[in-house]
Structure 1
Amino acid sequence: MKAMIFAAGKGTRLRPFTDHHPKAMMEVNGIPLIERNIHYLQSFGINDFVINLHHFGEQIVDFLKEKNHFDAHIEFSHEKDQLLETGGGLIFAKKLLDQEEDFLIMNADILTDMNITDFVNFHREQNSLVTLAVSDRKSSRKLLFDNEMILRGWMNTDTGEQRLAGFNNNYKKLAFSGIHCVDSQFFNHITRTGKFSIMEEYLDLMMTEEIYGFEHSAKLVDVGRPKSVLEAEQHFK
């Protein structure tokens, strides 16, 4: 299986570090996030990667070259002209992914010990177009799932804003973990072009397709702010 790591973002919440570096090079206990996540995925037998780049992307290329790509096969998707966000970035990298039966996507700033093998097996057992890793953790943005763990909506718990595929019948509210498993047929369903969030496509597709949530209780830290780096250093040595 091939994995795409989203590493193009500007990481503005991690300033001042990201004024001069990509967020994927933020260190947790002396080890950059990009290195940690490559090793994490390699521990589940994944050794084929696509990494998208934009903000100080050459630093990631140089670092991985210096480390001999950690003996992995790595291809880069250079978003030189414009940062395309997650959806646009995925389409831009389509030619590197669409020959796969399915593939993983992971945000570079997520650290977790979730069992990827269990996640992929669940995705394949459900014959899902997309499966999203989710957990019961604090977040202002929640995905909503029915009793079969099929995506039925999204809500902002701070503002009360919602997008629903049907009447909210006590849907389970879970936070997205930044890890997706995607059937390559998903490319045939995407309607947007240019710069857009992949979650917008998921929320449109939930009206007609079965997008599943894989609930886990693994450790997970979104290393998006300086204080979360300190939290990550408590959990990931």
Structure 2
Amino acid sequence: MKAMLFAAGLGTRLKPFTEKHPKALVEINGKTLLERNINYLKSFGIREIVINIHHFADQILDYLQKHNYFNCVINISHEKEKLLETGGGLVYAQKFFGKQSFLVMNADILTNMDFHALIKDHYENQSLVTLAVSDRQSSRKLYFNEDKKLVGWKNLQTQQKIFINSKEEEKSIPLAFSGIQVLNPEIFSLITQEGKFSIIDTYLDLMRTQKILGYKHQSYILDVGKPESIKEAEKHFK
């Protein structure tokens, strides 16, 4: 299986570090987020990795070259003109994926999740997309029915929401997306959006006709998106 790391973001919550560096090069106990996630993917036998870059892209290129690409096959999807977000970034990088499903994760996430279990669930359920989700605090929630199928989304702060219908809303279970997912490459033939867009918007469009499932997990997930989360990460990831 191949994997993709989203590493193009501006990392505005991690200022002042990201005023001069990409967020993927934030260090946790002397190792960058990028190194930690590449090595974590390797621990599950994943050695073909796509990395999208934009913010201080040259620093990531230099870093990978200096470390001999961590003995992996690494393809770079360089979003030179503009940042394309998750949906646009996936579409822009689609040439690097073959006919097999692939794993995608944000580069600023650290976890102890069993990727083998996630991938097994994806194949056993023959889903278009399998989203790693958990019951934790978040301002935005995805909603799933009893069959684990995505049926809606809600912003708990603004109360903005999108659901298949009111009946599904009543019965649905709110869960937070963990920033890790497995996608069948058939998704590319179904995406209608172009340019810069969130892949979640695509899922909300497709949930009425496609099998987009949630994979509920109990794994430790840490979004290293704020300076205080770096200190938290250093407690758990040595």
| Matched ranges for 1:39-78 at <5 A | 39-78=39-78
The aligned counterpart of 1:145 is: 144
CA offsets per residue over residues 17-60 of structure 1, 9 Å max, x none?
00000000011111100000001111111000000010001111
CA offsets per residue over residues 211-233 of structure 1, 9 Å max, x none?
00000011100111111111111
CA offsets per residue over residues 184-228 of structure 1, 9 Å max, x none?
100000000011111100111101111000000111001111111
SS in 2 for 1:46: coil
The aligned counterpart of 2:91 is: 91
The aligned counterpart of 2:198 is: 197
The aligned counterpart of 1:24 is: 24
The aligned counterpart of 1:218 is: 219
SS in 1 for 2:170: coil
Residue range with higher mean Cα deviation, 225-234 or 3-12: 225-234
State the 1:169 CA deviation: 2.2
SS in 1 for 2:186: helix
SS in 2 for 1:169: helix
The aligned counterpart of 1:230 is: 231
Preserved contact between residue 2 and residue 100 of structure 1 (Cα < 8 Å): no
Inter-partner Cα distance in structure 1 for 2:173 and 2:141: 9
CA offsets per residue over residues 80-115 of structure 1, 9 Å max, x none?
111111111111111111x23111111000110100
| Runs of at least 5 residues in structure 1 that lack an aligned partner in the other structure | none
Sequence identity percentage: 54
Preserved contact between residue 133 and residue 216 of structure 1 (Cα < 8 Å): yes
State the 1:4 CA deviation: 0.6
The aligned counterpart of 2:8 is: 8
SS in 1 for 2:4: strand
Inter-partner Cα distance in structure 2 for 1:18 and 1:44: 30
Q: What is the total number of aligned residue pairs between the two structures?
A: 236
Inter-partner Cα distance in structure 2 for 1:88 and 1:18: 22
TM-score (norm 2): 0.97
TM-score (norm 1): 0.98
CA offsets per residue over residues 139-183 of structure 1, 9 Å max, x none?
111110001111011111122221101221231111101011000
| Runs of at least 5 residues in structure 2 that lack an aligned partner in the other structure | none
